[in-house]
Structure 1
């Protein structure tokens, strides 16, 4: 999928990206020791998109910091 810098900026501004949290579990004790934040895009036409569909475009356009700040605001 191809997304323009303008469309990605618009999606960040409109809060279309949302964080999903995955627990990090200690292999020896079984307790949760942290979590990993996974970005998902709730695209208005394409539905829920995993990071593999948009991260290459985010990186190519230099919007990684803006995406991370937007996701952090959701916490």
Structure 2
């Protein structure tokens, strides 16, 4: 579990959308302070990490390249059907 991946994804998406990382956390369905806590060197539960990573993958804009150094989770059944 690489929490720095979540920090990176949150920062990129927040900058791209012109929103705060707190707003991005809400979009991802995680606690609003998750990314701030991770930036402070604190951790999170594995299920929280997985929820955030899947959410990032589902929410990621088509006009924004996914960072190459972060493995992207496979598409969910819902995404494949769309």
- In terms of Rg, which structure is larger? 1
Answer yes or no: same fold by TM over 0.5: no
Greater RCO, 1 or 2 (C-alpha within 8 Å, sep 6+)? 1
Structure with greater strand share of residues: 1
Structure with greater helix share of residues: 2
Report the TM range for the smaller structure's normalisation: 0.3 to 0.5
**TM-score, normalised by the number of residues in structure 2:** 0.31
**TM-score, normalised by the number of residues in structure 1:** 0.33
